[in-house]
Amino acid sequence: MIQLDYKVFPSEDKTISVEDDLYDGAHYYSAKKSLGFEDGKAIYIEDEAILPFVFKDGDLTVAGLQSEQLAYILLDRCIKLNAKFPSEHNVKMIAGLDIFLEACQDRVKERISRGVMGKLKK
């Protein structure tokens, strides 16, 4: 696994890794689980959550999550948390996820129209 440089603010811990693959690592992620924020600091444990994404290598397809599924999970979480703890920041996160999902849909429509959706073609 390759440690990624991303850090969840305000932590300085690098908690996300990816397995190297023929796409330079884009399909099998792990992230250290968190116990939340306490005493001014994010608390992480050694246990990890694994996130596999759909992976195609020639004729082989490995089942996994779609990016859109992960975005919809985040969107649902933001909407529900905003209902309990309304915030302009939550509204901004929801808008950002809506933009991401719209771009995903546009990409799929464009790839379908060109006949390359689901194929390893540009």
Can you tell me the distance from the alpha carbon of 60 to that of 92, in angstroms, rounded to the nearest whole number?
39
What mean pLDDT is predicted for residues 52-61?
Answer: 88
What mean pLDDT is predicted for residues 19-31?
Answer: 91
- Name every residue whose Cβ is closer than 8 Å to that of residue 34 and which is 6 or more positions away in sequence: 8, 15, 42, 43, 44, 45
Residue 7 lies in a domain: yes
Can you tell me the distance from the alpha carbon of 84 to that of 106, in angstroms, rounded to the nearest whole number?
32
Count of domains in the chain?
2
Same domain, 3 and 47: yes
Q: Is the per-residue pLDDT at 60 higher than 90?
A: no
Same domain, 13 and 54: yes
Same domain, 76 and 57: no
Residue 104 lies in a domain: yes
Q: What is the DSSP string of 29-59?
A: EEEEEEEEEETTEEEEEEEEEEEEB-EEETT
Q: What is the pLDDT of residues 36-47, one digit of tens each?
A: 999 989 999 999
| pLDDT given for residue 52 in this prediction | 96
Long-range own/partner contacts, residues 101-108 (CB < 8 A, 24 or more apart): 101/68, 101/71, 101/72, 101/75, 104/67, 104/68, 104/71
Same domain, 57 and 71: no
Q: What is the pLDDT of residues 67-91, one digit of tens each?
A: 999 999 999 999 999 999 999 999 9
95, 88 contact by CB (below 8 A): no
Same domain, 73 and 27: no
Enclosing domain of residue 99: 66-115
Q: Higher pLDDT residue, 118 or 14? A: 14
| pLDDT given for residue 56 in this prediction | 86
pTM of the model: 0.89
Residue 121 lies in a domain: no
| pLDDT given for residue 115 in this prediction | 93
Secondary element (H or E) of residue 10: none
Same domain, 3 and 59: yes
| pLDDT given for residue 42 in this prediction | 94
